[in-house]
Structure 1
C-alpha cells in the first residue's frame, strides 16, 4: 500500500518506530509492518482454511492457526527488511479450543465461530436467554464462545483450559501469558457487560464455574514479549477483529458505524461509554477498553458474505469474487430471483442459526447474472436490516456507513448497498482495516504519550456510493426479501433441546 494511503497525525509521526500488526482471520492470517511516517512497509499472508462438515462442523487445526501467524508475521518483517518495535494481534473473537496451560499443547481442534454443533445445548439453555442478555448483552446462540466452550467440555475433553483462540496464541507467542482483551472476553457470553469482568452467574449457567479463565486486559499495553519475529519484541496490542476495524476507521463517536465484508458481514455502531441493550435483536458488547475506560458498541452479523460467494463459485456459476461485477452487470436486475443466503443460518436480528438458505423465483430464463444479482441483493438487504436495528436502538438513523473488507471491491455490491440503505456508503481506502487497527493499538500500548487520535489512520474513502434509486423502490425490493425471510421462518420451527 503506498504511504500516501496511510497518514497519521503529527503526534504519531514523532515516534517513527514500525510495528508488526497481525490479523488472524477465519480463513487466513494477514500481517503488516506499519511505519507512522512511511505507511505499510512490509506485508505477509498465510492460509488457515477451516474444515466444514456435517451437523454444522466448522473447525481448524490449531497448529495451522499458529503456523499462519508465524509465517505471515515473518514474511512481513522480512519484506520490511527492518526490525519492529512491537506486535499487535487481532483475533476471530468466537473461535475456541481446549489446551494444556503447562505446555501450550492443543487438546482439541479450534472450533470456529461458524460452528453450529452447540445448537442443542443452546436450545436447552433457552430459559436463561433473557438473563444472559441482561448480564452479557448477548443472546443464547452457538455463534458465541461460551456455548462452544461448554460443548467442548461435554463432548470432547475435561482436561486443560478452554478459551478463545487469542489466549492460546498469545500464550504460545509469549511463552506463558494467559490473557484476553476486554472486547474478546465480551464475545464469550461470560463477561458481565457493566463490570467488564467474568460473570459468576453466566459461568454457572454454562456449567463453566470451575474453569480457569484468562486475565482481562486493555486493548493497548504490554502483556508479554515474543521472540518469534526477531529479537525480544513486546506484544502491546490485542483486540477482536471487528472492533479493530472499527478503531481503524475512526468510528469512535456514538452513532457512527462501519461494516466489514469478509467471510461474513459485520456491522458495528458506537454507543459511547455505556452499553445499550436494545430490543431490535442486535448485541451489545465492548468495543475496546483503553486506560481502564470502556467503550461500547452495538453489533450485528451476516454469517455468509464472501463465504456465500465461494459457495456460488463452487457450483461453477462464477469463477470467483472478481466475477461478481461483470457477471452481475450482464443483466439489469435479478429477474425475479430472490436469494436469502442463510447458508450458515441467520444471525441478527433473527438469531436462527438452524435455518437454511433459499433461492426462489427461478425460471427457464434464469441465468448466472440473475443469481449473482440476487446474492448481492441478499447480502445488502441483511446489512440494511442491521442498520435499521441500530437506528431503532439509538433512536436516530445512521447518516452513512463506512465499509471495508474484500467484497468492497465489488462496485455492484456497494452500489446495491447504497441503494437499499438509502444512505451514502464510504469505502475505506485502507484495504486491511483490522490489521491497521490493531497496529495502531500496538503503537498506543508501546508509547503511553500517544493519544487515540494520534494513532488512528486518517479517514479518506477511496469511493463514495450514493443511492441511485428512490426510497419507494428500495422499500419494494426490501419487502420482497423480507417476505422470503418470513417464509423461511414460518416453515422452520425453532430447534428444541431434544433435537
Structure 2
C-alpha cells in the first residue's frame, strides 16, 4: 500500500495546490487554482465558499489528469482558523468563509478578556480573533443561528465524502479543544456561548475518513492536517526541538514540543502538531500575519511588479537606506498579540527608491521571525541551532539571506515549495498503511539552498534594534490614541 499514488491537496488562503505524489518517483502531477480573499472595513477578510470548493475540485482533477495515473487515496490540508456556517443536511454554505486574518471578532475577545487565562490553560492559545472560536461566536451573533459552524476543513470534507470530522491539529486552532485530552472542552464551549453547537468528531491525522469520487474512481480520504503542521511534518521535524518556518500569505514558525503540551510563557500558541494512532505530538507556534500579502499590497500599489522584484530590486541596493518597514497590515501576532496596530513605513527620504522599500520589507518580515525564534527558545529552554524553511517566498534570495543575517543562524530551504501538500501526503500514506511511522512516511532530502549569515552580530543587532524601535513607536502612538479618544478606523495603514 505504501507504493500507491496519493492525491495531496493544500487548500490555502490565496489558492489551492494539488499534487499526485508517488513514494518512489516523487511528484508526478500537479494542479493549481487561485482563490482571492475579499477585504473590507472593520477588519473583514472573507472568501466565497463555492470558490474554495471549486478550487479544490479543479486543482485536484488537474493534478490527476497531469499524472495520467490513478490515485489510491486523498489527503487534505486546510487553512486552520477559517470558519463558516453550513447546512449539514444539504452541505450548502450559509455564510461566506471568515478567513483567519479577519479581525471582526475582536469585540468577542474584548468581552471575554477576563477569561483569557482560563482559556489559555484549557486550549494553550492566547485569546485573539485569529483563532476560530471567537470568529464562530461572532458569526453566531451577527450572521446566522442556522446549521453548523465549523472550520473550513469540516465543510470541505463533508462535501467530498459526507463525513463530519476535523483532525486534532485543526481542532487545536479553535480555542475549543482541551489541549491535554485532545477532545472538545465543554468548559471552553460554554465560555464562548457555543455550548449547544454540534461539532465534528475529532480524528487522527491519518485514518480512513470516508470515500470520494470527486477526482475519478472512488478512493478513501486518509490524511487530514492543518497547513502549518503539515509543513512541519514534511520538513521532518518529528524530533523535539526541531523547527521550521513557512513563508506564504503569512509566516509561521513552528517547533516540535514533544509528546506533552508546553504552555507558552512567551506569548506563543501551544497546539497539537498531529495525532497518530491516538497519540498526540505537540508544537509551539508563532505567526507573522502578513508576508506574501504585504508583497501583494506593494504590487497592487504599483511600487513593485510582483514577488520577483524582491530580488530584482532588493538586490540592487546594499541595504534599506535607513527605511524601516513594519508590515503589520493585519496587526501584530505572537508574541505581542496587538491586532489593533497597523503597518508603518518610516525613514523615507527624497533619495528613497522602491528598492529601499523592498529591502525594508524583507528586514521587517525577518525581524518578526527572529522575535518568534527568541520566544520559542525561551519556552523550550534552548536556542534553535538552524531554521528549516519552505513556502513560495523562499525563492527570494534576498529575503532568505536577510533571514539568515538577522537570525544569525543557517537557513535551510526545503527542496520543494509545496511542503504543506507533501506533509499531508505523508499523513495520507500513513492512513493507508497503519504500520508506517511519521519518520518513515516523510523523505526530506537535501535542502535546495543553505544561507549562512553574512552580516556580523553587531550589524544584525542594529537592524533588529531599528525595527524594534519602530514597533515601540507604533504601540505608543496607538496606546496614546486609545487613551486620548476614539481610535482611528482599524483598516487605516499608518503610512
TM-score if structure 2 supplies the norm length? Answer: 0.96
- Name 1:25's counterpart in structure 2: 12
- Name 1:167's counterpart in structure 2: 154
Q: CA deviation at 1:475?
A: 1.0
Q: CA deviation at 1:450?
A: 2.1
- Name 1:372's counterpart in structure 2: 358
Q: CA deviation at 1:198?
A: 0.6
Alignment partner of 1:412 is 2:398: yes
Distance 1:291 1:75 in 2: 32
- Name 1:310's counterpart in structure 2: 296
Q: CA deviation at 1:454?
A: 2.0
Matches within 5 A, 1:5-404: 15-174=2-161, 176-404=162-390
Q: CA deviation at 1:232?
A: 1.1
Q: CA deviation at 1:495?
A: 7.4
Per-residue CA distance 1:86-127 (angstroms, 9 max, x = gap): 000000000000000011010000000010111111111111
Distance 1:62 1:271 in 2: 34
The structure 2 residue matched to 1:464, chosen from 446, 450, 454, is 450
Indicate the SS of the match to 2:270: strand
Contact 1:46 1:72 in 2 (8 A): yes
The structure 2 residue matched to 1:475, chosen from 444, 458, 461, is 461
Contact 1:88 1:236 in 2 (8 A): yes
Per-residue CA distance 1:215-273 (angstroms, 9 max, x = gap): 00000000100010111100000000000000000011111100000000000001100
Contact 1:219 1:239 in 2 (8 A): yes
In structure 1, runs of 5+ residues without a counterpart are 1-13
Per-residue CA distance 1:380-403 (angstroms, 9 max, x = gap): 000000001001111110000000
Per-residue CA distance 1:286-338 (angstroms, 9 max, x = gap): 00000100000000000000000011111111100001111012211111110
Contact 2:22 2:28 in 1 (8 A): yes
Indicate the SS of the match to 1:492: helix
TM-score if structure 1 supplies the norm length? Answer: 0.96
Indicate the SS of the match to 1:461: coil
Q: CA deviation at 1:470?
A: 1.4
- Name 2:493's counterpart in structure 1: none
Distance 2:245 2:441 in 1: 21
Distance 2:460 2:379 in 1: 22
Distance 1:35 1:465 in 2: 30
Distance 1:314 1:231 in 2: 42
Contact 1:249 1:459 in 2 (8 A): no
Distance 2:104 2:177 in 1: 22
Indicate the SS of the match to 2:320: coil
Distance 1:486 1:126 in 2: 23
The structure 2 residue matched to 1:455, chosen from 424, 441, 450, is 441
In structure 2, runs of 5+ residues without a counterpart are 488-495
Distance 2:353 2:218 in 1: 57
